[in-house]
Every structure is written in structure tokens, then in C-alpha cells.
Amino acid sequence: MDQSPRISLLISQALGLYRQRINALLAQHHIDLTSEMVTVLRILWRQEGRKQQEIADLLHKDKASITKVIHNMEKRGLVLRVADESDARNKKIMLTTEGLSLREKVLPVLDPFLDGVTAGFDEKELAAARAVLSAIIHQLQ
């Protein structure tokens, strides 16, 4: 019988280590954010004004957990919730000046780390990993 660990365990371990390393790196550079906040910021840096539900869907998280992260970010003055013109019940998440300026502080710290995570793999291996992980995500949806 194959004693290899299930792929689900490996994914869980990788995600846990990924978050730990990012949180440690942020702390080391005196950046008062969590890995979850950085993930939301990265989405908003690419396209500001997304709705909370859109962010939750992109991250495959429930709206309540994203609402909590956004609430904490709002308390820190990084984002604002603005009513959507077409539906006031929906809130668009907008970056504050401080939230936008963090990009210049965070990306130079995290991008080299993220590049280093896959540095030892060739493009064929990365393509295969992307394909497997994408298929697993599709299967779970």
C-alpha cells in the first residue's frame, strides 16, 4: 500500500507554512499586516473598488471571514467601504492613501520571497503543478 501523504495534507501543510513565513517576514520588516490582509490588498492594488463578495469568491473564502479581515483593515485606515451606486446594500472596498502607499513597502519584501518559493523548479514543473492545482480547485467547486 502506498504510504505517500494525501495531496490534501500536502496542500494544507504548504498553505500553513506559506502563511507562517509571510507573517514572519512582515513582522521582521515591521509591517503590521497579516498574510490575509496582504492577500486582500494585492487584489485591491490590481483592481480597486471590488465588492466584498467578489473578494471572498476570488479567495474561495466565506463572506464572514473576509468581512472580518476588511473590518480590521478599515480600523487601521487602509480601506474604506463605499456604498455601490447600483445597490446600496453592496459595499465597494476602496483603498485609502495609506493602503495604496503600503504597496511600495510590501511588494519589495514579499515578491523576492514568493519568487524564491518556486525558484528551484523549471517551467515544465511549474506548469504541471499549476495544472494539477487548478484541476483540484475546479473539482472542489
pLDDT digits (tens, 9 = 90+) for 14-50: 999 999 999 999 999 999 999 999 999 999 999 999 9
Quick check: is 131 in a domain?
no
- Name the nearest CA neighbour of 110 among 38, 12, 13, 37: 38
pLDDT attached to residue 84: 78
The x, y and z cell numbers of residue 78, run together, are 487602509
Quick check: is 25 in a domain?
no
Find the CATH number of the domain harbouring 104.
1.10.10.10
pLDDT in tens, 97-118: 999 999 999 999 999 999 999 9
State which residues form the domain around 97.
36-112
Burial 9-21 (b: 16+ CB within 10 A, else e): eeeeeeeeeeeee
Quick check: is 43 in a domain?
yes
Residue with cell string 494585492: 42
Quick check: is 134 in a domain?
no
**What total number of domains does the chain contain?**
1
Q: Taking a C-beta distance cutoff of 8 angstroms, is the pair 113, 130 a contact?
A: no
What is the per-residue DSSP string for 106-120?
Answer: HHHHHHHHHHHHTTT
Neighbours of 72 (CB within 10 A): 16
Neighbours of 41 (CB within 10 A): 21
